[in-house]
Structure 1
């Protein structure tokens, strides 16, 4: 995003199209339209000219602003010389993994082509971002913020802020994304990042303006490639209020760890003498600590604030783990709907399955790869979701990744795990390596129910956590879509598989993701009702073994919703 002061870039749409749309969707949720052109362009975020990926000529890209249940229509024109896809990090596509925008679900937009994403912020609020998912494009830009605001009638557990700012923080390399990709393809490691960026700029290159005495919301997302980050505001405290769509108990922090992919909202009150203060971001768990700053400028500033920059944690694992444990769900606040969050006692629901997943580094065919339960994922020639829809044989096989780690070396394979719709599942992520891991599951929000700085078995904990939560629901952490697994540690999550589709489970360390530390979770039901899953969009791009097939969806079965039909008519 080029600035925190503006809103989204709503694309102009001809009045006739709008009139036709209003007829088609009378009484439906609002539609917001965006037209984006993706191009190469020269950028110099660290003072060295390099090739970046721009959206409408901007780095970072335009911001999406929406309200709960809004339909978000994004028409993307690809002017790069290679295929391109955008994915929506945390914006859950309910019943619609065709629009997820990753290699396993969506055919890429060819050079010179375009594709219109038909998304919906269904029953969501909060802070997210989008990013390019193919090749190593994320290292060139193409990302931007997403804000989903509450509907006006839904109470929010804090007064309206004076302004709502986005802070996209992340590490950065001076090499072009194509060079970084070639390094990975050759089997070599990337090494440490060259610097850090805040909204696409390095040292003091970005300014947040504030008025004395007023309170501001900062939406912070780690959009980087390789490192966890810590953020702090010189002379000011942060009050955490939201994590990826869930309101939190309003705990105050001097500094906050933000792991790869994570998004947080904090409130900051401009209650200090009027100066220019530093917004400091630095790396965590790295041998060399990299730091950058932005400026928090009071309207009547007398100049640079006196004193040294605030120091932050560096390699302390327990500090970060304890901070993560301190974040609690606000059960008295409404979420997207006018009812308290967590009114249902999830801890009392029987769990259908426990899955254990272990990441590992491996050498396969003489090259660096990464694996989950021994499988290093390889993308097939046809997106898995499209092959599943058309029942194309030979693209993938369900069950190619096991439910638990096993001995033996890693190997390349298209990795798909099967799961049943509406099951309640525990997943334990085990990390026996010496670097922190950050994980994400597309299409889902979930609860982290335990962290442990230990490689010992988690069985005893898993047997006891549900009993504790059943009687003490307030100990639940907020729902989110990212979490950390600390070195030589494990983390456990609890998830309701209520979203049919083919969903990417991946490392947010982008070199690891690119080199195989990911798989797809196929959440399946025998039902063909559009109430459970939307059919393939009429405008879907078809590639690989699906090229040349028709995209007109099959007729819905009984129980399909009118809204589902309207969304398909507009695709």
Structure 2
């Protein structure tokens, strides 16, 4: 009988492999999505623009899933140019093949399609997807991702009466093709023209609530260049989750959301029945952009009134203080039924320290941006494919130093090497006068410290080694540093980048190659059979090892 069951399992496995699906667990459901990516007219700031729509929507459709779901997302590209979607915050366990960055995937050609096979393995929380090529993000094609806890896993707050998504970000009236040409000609992006909430301008979005009830708002900064601050007129916000980490439930009157970051807050409709402003404004900018949405009480007979609540602008100290108060809730379960604090990261000694310094040099007379003096240039073949097929001349490991060199900046396809199961300390050192925001694909890292000036070994004395929040988007304040601890438990080729999209486009990024000589599926899935092949990988065979 056991032999017959094993034979049947082998047949099912073979069927899945023939279709390029390698994530198999009969207990975890599959959710199927078909997305058609097209151009379309949009009017987000009252001016007609060519937007990039998904199934005719701007922003794109929301993805709802539950921990460990398998997501099958078929993307059809009806644009006149190549296109890629990436997934901000999804960790793609053992599967950087699905990351959707140019260093890991070939673009979807015009008129073609690609099916992503994702598994939200051991994840909960609030995230978003976005287009990763060129300046497509300046035209749309982004949307929210909500990963709900499994029913048997306790959540550390009562079920809210509603769950709202708020995608906020800066916006340009200039066409994304012109913005790209501006960058290609060696210029930085201009100051944005306005702010949007869910793709709409001033008072364009209404959230309806019942008096006395509590609601969850999932807030993401999907913009290109600026940090944001959010507040709700007359209401407090209770922070409950940051990019998959349940937090200590502090109360805030306003929250800073840096580029790429996502937060969940609970808001109780405990004020007199009327309408209230939800305000988003730029942070750390001398010229302040502001937009609003409406919090509408269902029994309200009075519209919004009074002055729009003022927010912090240039004050950095208040933002640093708030960042330090955001801590992990050690008594709450995460995606599994054990407390999040059971992983004692503070007792692990890092195997090495990596220091990453950002800069904005001119190279060959053009504006570029760099990490440790290296400004990334894209190769003709995705790095992941070149690594898998052992294609020489595309990149070499160690093409970016692990410490700032202080030397002249230069162009390079930069790849840093790391070993599977290392536990590393990464310090982001910022000597510029602007706030920086960094993203690490494939990982969630413990943000253990913020500090001013130059980071030194002595800076570790101020680290939070008990309840640091884990996230994939990290801000670094002007002339300051931010330190993270990260367990390299996810094999693959992972993008580390500035979330300021102009800086990323002009080279402030690199790839981290987390390597193991093992060929076990336990460590990394093989190349999918449906993988698109381009550059020097064209014509190769993609059969699993």
How many angstroms apart in 2 are the aligned matches of 1:282 and 1:303? 24
Alignment of 1:432-447 (within 5 A): 432-447=431-446
Q: Would the aligned equivalents of 2:31 and 2:70 in 1 still touch at CA under 8 Å?
A: yes
2:498 corresponds to: 507
Structure 1 residues not aligned, in runs of 5+: 1-16, 555-571
Deviation at 1:507, TM superposition (A): 0.3
Tell me how far apart the structure 2 counterparts of residues 189 and 357 of structure 1 sit (CA, whole Å).
Answer: 22
Match of 1:352 in 2: 351
Q: Please point out which of 464, 477, 481 is paired with 1:486.
A: 477
Match of 2:368, SS state, is strand
- Output one character per residue of 1:471-494: Cα deviation in whole Å (capped at 9) or x when no partner: xx2xx2211111110011110000
**1:534-549 superposed matches below 5 A:** 534-549=525-540
CA displacement at 1:21 relative to structure 2: 13
Q: Kindly report the root-mean-square deviation, in angstroms, between the aligned alpha carbons of the 2 structures.
A: 1.5
Aligned to 1:521: 512
Q: Quick one: distance in 2 between partners of 1:310 and 1:191?
A: 27
Would the aligned equivalents of 2:429 and 2:454 in 1 still touch at CA under 8 Å?
Answer: no
Against the structure 1 CA distance between its residues 300 and 498, is the aligned structure 2 distance closer, same or farther, given a 3 Å change threshold? same
Whole-angstrom distance in 1 between the partners of 2:402 and 2:454? 18
- CA deviation map 1:342-373 (0-9, x unaligned): 21211111210100010000111111100000
Measured in 2, the distance between the counterparts of 1:77 and 1:131 equals: 15
Q: In structure 1, how many angstroms separate the alpha carbons of the residues matched to 2:462 and 2:130?
A: 35
Q: How does 1:166-565 map to 2 (within 5 A)?
A: 166-452=165-451, 454-462=452-460, 464=461, 469=465, 473=466, 476-554=467-545
Deviation at 1:432, TM superposition (A): 0.3
Counterpart-to-counterpart distance in 2, 1:25 and 1:285? 46
Residue deviations 1:516-553, cap 9 Å, x none?
Answer: 00000000011110000000001000000000011111
> What is the alpha-carbon distance in structure 2 between the residues aligned to residue 432 and residue 272 of structure 1?
44
Looking at structure 1, the residues matched to 57 and 453 of structure 2 have their Cα atoms a distance apart, in angstroms, of 44
Distance across 2 between alignment mates of 1:166 and 1:451: 29
Shift of 1:457: 3.0
By how many angstroms is 1:141 displaced?
Answer: 0.3
| SS of structure 2 residue aligned to 1:460 | helix
Residues of 2 paired with 1:218 and 1:79: CA distance? 33
Aligned to 1:156: 155
Aligned to 2:33: 34
CA displacement at 1:409 relative to structure 2: 1.3
Q: Which runs of 5+ in 2 are unaligned?
A: 1-15
**1:25 positional shift:** 6.0
Tell me, in whole angstroms, the C-alpha distance in 2 between the residues paired with 1:434 and 1:277. Answer: 35
Name 1:96's counterpart in structure 2. Answer: 95
Within a 5 Å distance, the mapping from 1:12-91 to structure 2 comes to 27-91=26-90
Further displaced range: 183-192 or 329-338: 183-192
For normalisation by structure 2, the TM-score amounts to 0.95
Q: Deviations over 1:91-137 (max 9, x none)?
A: 11000001000010000000000000000100000000000000110
Give secondary structure in 1 for the equivalent of 2:182.
Answer: helix
* TM-score between the two structures when normalised by the length of structure 1: 0.91
Aligned to 2:5: none
Q: 1:191 & 1:308 partners in 2: Cα distance?
A: 29
1:311 CA drift (Å): 0.6
Distance in 2 (alpha carbons) for counterparts of 1:547 and 1:133: 21
CA offsets 1:546-571 (integer angstroms, 9 cap, x no match): 000111111xxxxxxxxxxxxxxxxx
Post-superposition Cα deviations, 1:209-257, rounded to whole Å, max 9, x if no partner, equal 1000010000000000000000000010000000000000000000000
In structure 2, the CA distance between the partners of 1:405 and 1:71, relative to structure 1 (3 Å rule), is: same
Distance 2:445 2:262 in 1: 14
